[in-house]
Every structure is written in structure tokens, then in C-alpha cells.
Structure 1
Amino acid sequence: MRGKVIVAIAIAIVVVGGFAGLQRQAGTVVLAMALEERAGVDRTRDLPDGLHVALCGTGSPLPDPGRADACTAIIAGRHIMVVDSGEGGARNIALMGIPNGRIDAVFLTHFHSDHIDGLGPMMLLRWTGSGATSPLPVYGPPGVERVVAGFDDAYALDAGYRTAHHGPRIAPPTGAGGVARPFAVPPRRSNDQVVVFDADGLRVTAFRVDHGPVDPAIGYRFDYKGRSVVVSGDTAASPALVEAARGADLLVHEGLQPRLVKLMTATLTKRDVPNTAQITRDILSYHASPALVAREAQTAGVRFLVFTHVIPQLPSRMMYPAYLGDARRLYDGPMMVGEDGMMFSLLPSSHAIDFTRLPVG
């Protein structure tokens, strides 16, 4: 809303003036107002102590102008963690007023491109945003070492340029890139969980999910001061997820609506795009429909359900009922289709979940 007001002021100045000089003046005024509203803003500074979940990317590999790729930010006390680092996620974190420089760690669910292709900007903005003297920790199952090493190698020249330009105080050479933090995953077809982070009252546990042939694929549960959130990663039906999500306050779960995806397949087939059509057939086997997710959330006793990694693209909110299908009939708690910029706040000594929107445009 504030952005629309700024644009309206600019238009009024130009209409009233109608001269190039006034247009230049209007541009300067608008930029100054935008900078005052956004530059250096830390919207986490006044958050009450608790568990806050910010959706920094709710999209998928399918191009979607309104959604970045997979990215969920978790704020717990003084810690800022990020689950997955898809393209556009680091940008959205900055736009939302969450300081990139204060990100403590990234937790990867698996190594599909749309969950890792934003790691470069995530590492860069964290490093230069705080003058970090050590690399960004990146947690994940075995294989995370190779992913992090690849990004470090790809960005090595860039890091050298930035230190040479800005100096080692602003861009310390020891702080560039990331450092892999691999952990042993639970056995296949087990409901076991493993603690991968435990400090300052925040505990992060990892569990297997079913995204075959991707293996391993991981979901995470975050517990802080009696409140909890589970992030599914990409998965089909998963008994381990149901077990990990038992009693959770908030479940952030991927969702693919088969009926809508089949419409996409039919259109691609009609237009003779066979490769992409086959991909849309294949993805049905290793994602979860909203109805299936609703059943699992009901079984687990989850208090609030939010869909992310939304497939297919939904150009309008008018499509949300078609996307959800029977989900509302199968789950008796509150449910939302996630959008970039949404934030959910879970405060201690309460069962309430407060909702707000942070700017991403």
C-alpha cells in the first residue's frame, strides 16, 4: 500500500508539472521515500521473542513471476535460519526486511536445483551484509559437501574482486562462501529423527521423507520455547513426516494439485512439447496433493497448515479453491496457500499463530 502511495505522489507531481525538470524532481523524491521505507530496515528488531516463520520462496521449478523458489526463514530468539535456498530467496529476505547478514545457517532438504540455486546470493549477501569472518554454515545430508564446494568454486573470483574493491574490513576473505555441515540421516523407511542443531533453546531435528529417486531427502522440525514448526521439503506420502509433525503448531508443506497439473500436460501435448509434457507426468509420483497433506496433518494433530512449493503456477488467488480441492474437508484446522512475504508468529505460552505480510515487491 505504501508503495502505491509513493507512485501516486510521483504521478501527481508529473501531471501537475509536466516538465522534464519536475519529472527529475519527482524521481528523486520517490527514490528518497522508498529508501527511507526500506534501506537498512530490520523488521526482526522489534519482533517479540518466539518462533517466527517467514515464507521467502513458495514456488517450484515452473517459472512463476509471483513466487521465488523454495525458501523458508525461521527466526527463533536471536537466531535466523533458512530452510532451502532457491533462486530469489535471498532477494526476498532482503525485501522483507530480514537482515541477510544475520543469517546463522541454511538447512537444505535435498539437492534439486530449485532448492539450492540461490545459495550463491544467500552466501554473498550474508557475507557482505555483516562483514562475516567465517563462511555460512550449510547443513544437509551427505552430498552437501559437493554442493557447497561447487558454489564456493564458482564464486571464488567474485569474492576476490569484492575484497579487493571494498577492503578486508567490509569483505573479509575468510568469510566468503559457505561451509558444509553434513549429518547422518536416519535409516530408510524409518520414523527416526536426528538432532542437527541444539543451542539457545532452539532444537532442529531432521527426518527422512520420500522424494525418490532423490535420496536422501529431508524434512526439518524446529522447536523453540514450547512452539514448533515443521518444514516438509519435497515429499510424497511420508509416515516419518506424520510422526515428526505430531502436535506441531505449524506445518509448512509442499503441495501439487494433480488435476491442475494434468491440464498443463494436456496443453503441452496439444502444442507438441513432448519433453516438458513428460516431466509434468513424472512429477505426479514424488509430490503430495493438498488432499493427502490434509489427511497427514489431521492425523498428526497439526494446528495450522500452510502450503508451499505450489504446483502448478496459480496466476490468481481465485484458483486457490481449485488447488486445494478436498483438502478443507479432510483437515479441520486453519489452512492457507502460502505466498512470498507471509510471516507467522508463534509466541511462547500461547497456542495462537499471528499472521502478517512483509513486502516482497
Structure 2
Amino acid sequence: MGTGTPTPSMNRMCSGYLIEAGDDYIVFDHGFGSHHRLLELGVPATRVSHAFFSHHHYDHMGDYPRLLLTRWDQGAGKIPELKVYGPPPLQKITDRLFGDDGAFGPDLISRTENQASIDVYRARGGEGVRRKPQPLITELAPDGTVTEAEWTVRVVPVNHFAPHLTSYGYRIDHHGQSIVYSGDSGPCPALNQLAQGCDVLVHMCHYLTGTAPSKTFAAFSSGHIEVAEAAKQAGAKNLVISHVTEQFDKPGVRERVITEVSRIYSGNIFFGADLMEIPVSGPEASKLD
């Protein structure tokens, strides 16, 4: 849904990824603009069952309120509460957004107590008292695991803006297929281990290697050569380059990045774009007509 960064762009919204696993639609990060992409994909918020946040930078969770409020409003009390996962302080952030004294507290009070909003609620099929959203929040441990009927998500801590933020990478396994999402991270052995043998590795690729302004920057964000090395070490079958900056999002430079990555990593390479669908089994050429 979003392959960009905090830099405003009409082409790349902030980070957001949608995975369909059985009957579940799972969001991994939901930065500003990614909810618009969700609409463009034709997936209503009411179909999203779970949301995982890698860390609490705004370009990874800015559209969290839109997802939760739209889902609640359109669901009219007929769908389960959204299950939300991420590092601390996820519960505090949620309370400050949706609690009575939170940013959206006055809105929620009016929508649950004012007759005009209750009329809309009932017109959408709601019955009885209109209750406020009560998302099911789980603050994950660095070695956490989430298990549902058809899929499992495993967690590792990654290298991004510590100690000010706790940042996670995720691996989801479903019916023998696996996708790993780095979140934002610099080079990280734990992430490479988590990604061993995965079908798809979606990795932050923030800059051209060798142009980092400091050692700290290079430790907390990955350049294109570091991403290639990570995919190689993991033995990932498919690599998706994402979190793309304007530094190398240019004709000719993109191709150079792919060429240099391919000298290290021999799997399939996707230069990520918003609304791109990644085949877990890998790309196939179309018939020549």
C-alpha cells in the first residue's frame, strides 16, 4: 500500500503492506496515505482483521486512526474488534488516540451519544447501544509469537532508532509460505536469521550504500548493498526493495540499484511500487501475444 518514506510524494505513500492469509486481511504498518491505497485495492477497512506495527514513527502508523475509526464506523457493531500488535507503548498510544480524553474522544462521544449518529448507526444495521471501539491491543515482546488458526507471526527486534524507539521485524508463515517484513532496520543478524529460507523478504532500502551521512545513520537504516547481503544470507527466494527515497527513485538509478543488488543476491528482485502485488511463488512471464 505504501513504499515510500516521510517525504511527501504522489507516487509513494508511507509504509503499509497488506497480506491475505486465508480469510484474514492483515495490515503490516499503516503510515499516512496507505489507507487511501487500501481503498484503491478495493479492500474495505471492515475486511481488515489484524494490524501489526513495526515501530512508532508516523510514516508507519499515521493512518492507524483512520483504519480503526473507519472500520468501527462502517462495521456498525457487526464485526469483531480489530486485533492490533506492536512494540510498547502501543497501549498508551491507543489510549491517547481513542480514550475519552484522547484526541478522538470528543468525536467518539458524539458518535455514540448524539441521536443523529445513532440514526446513522442503525441505518447501517447496528442494534442496541452504540459502543465505542475497543481494539484488542497486544504489546509484543522481542521474541513474541502470534498464532491464529491458519497463520503464525514471529517477532525479532531490529536496529532502528534505539533507544528512543523499539522496532520489530516480522515473519508470517501460512500454509507453507512465508513473508518477512523488516520494518525499518539497518543491518541486523537477528532479522537475517528470522528470514532464513523465506519466500518473500520485504526490506527497507533507504539510500545508496556509501552515501550515509554518519555511522549512526548507517546502523539504523539499510542501503542497497546491505539489503542485497541480507537477502543473500537469508536465502530469500524473492526480495522486495521498499521504503524508497527520492535519492535513487529515478530512471537509470533504479536500474543501477537492481544491477548492483543482483551481483550479490541471485533471487528475484522487485523494485517496490505502491499497489504492486507480489506473487509469493515468484514472478512468471506472461504469454507473448
Name the residue aligned to 1:121: 66
Name the residue aligned to 1:199: 148
The residue type paired with residue 145 of structure 1 is Q
- Structure 1 residue 127: deviation in Å? 1.5
Does 1:326 pair with 2:260? yes
* Aligned partner of 1:293 among 205, 218, 227: 227
Distance 1:260 1:236, change over 3 A: closer
* 2:258–2:269 Cα contact (<8 Å) kept: no
RMSD value over aligned CA atoms? Answer: 2.6
* 2:238–2:282 Cα contact (<8 Å) kept: no
Mapped partners of 2:209, 2:188: distance in 1: 21
The residue type paired with residue 120 of structure 1 is P
Name the residue aligned to 1:42: none
Mapped partners of 1:58, 1:159: distance in 2: 31
Distance 1:312 1:259, change over 3 A: farther
* 1:90–1:125 Cα contact (<8 Å) kept: no
| Higher percent of residues as strand | 1
Question: SS in structure 2 opposite 1:258?
Answer: coil
The residue type paired with residue 23 of structure 2 is R
State the Cα deviation string for residues 189-223 of structure 1 (Å, max 9, x = none): xxxxx31x212221111111111324421011011
Name the residue aligned to 1:35: none
Mapped partners of 2:11, 2:111: distance in 1: 31
Name the residue aligned to 2:276: 342
Name the residue aligned to 2:170: 220
Mapped partners of 2:187, 2:216: distance in 1: 16
State the Cα deviation string for residues 47-83 of structure 1 (Å, max 9, x = none): xxxxxxxxx1111112222111111111101001111
Distance 1:345 1:162, change over 3 A: farther
* 2:77–2:130 Cα contact (<8 Å) kept: no
- Structure 1 residue 177: deviation in Å? 6.2
Distance 1:202 1:305, change over 3 A: same
Mapped partners of 2:263, 2:3: distance in 1: 23
**5 Å matches for 1:36-185?**
56-132=1-77, 135-152=81-98, 153-163=102-112, 164=114, 165-167=116-118, 168-169=121-122, 170=124, 173-176=130-133, 178-185=135-142
Name the residue aligned to 2:201: 251
State the Cα deviation string for residues 161-200 of structure 1 (Å, max 9, x = none): 44443424447743536342112223xxxxxxx31x2122
Between 304-313 and 91-100, report the one with greater CA deviation. Answer: 304-313
Question: SS in structure 2 opposite 1:342?
Answer: coil
Between 135-144 and 296-305, report the one with greater CA deviation. Answer: 135-144
The residue type paired with residue 242 of structure 1 is N
Mapped partners of 2:209, 2:154: distance in 1: 34
- Structure 1 residue 321: deviation in Å? 2.2
* 1:82–1:107 Cα contact (<8 Å) kept: yes
| Higher percent of residues as helix | 1
* 2:204–2:222 Cα contact (<8 Å) kept: yes
Task: Give the structure with higher Rg (CA).
Answer: 1
* 1:57–1:68 Cα contact (<8 Å) kept: yes
Distance 1:132 1:68, change over 3 A: farther
Unaligned regions of 5+ residues in structure 1, if any? 1-55, 187-193, 263-277, 357-361
The residue type paired with residue 85 of structure 1 is H
Name the residue aligned to 1:33: none
Unaligned regions of 5+ residues in structure 2, if any? none
Question: SS in structure 2 opposite 1:330?
Answer: coil
- Structure 1 residue 355: deviation in Å? 9.8
State the Cα deviation string for residues 296-349 of structure 1 (Å, max 9, x = none): 111111000001111235564443124446212111011111111011233xxx
With the length of structure 2 as denominator, give the TM-score of the two structures. 0.85
Mapped partners of 1:200, 1:344: distance in 2: 23
Identity %: 27
Name the residue aligned to 1:310: 244
- Structure 1 residue 135: deviation in Å? 3.9
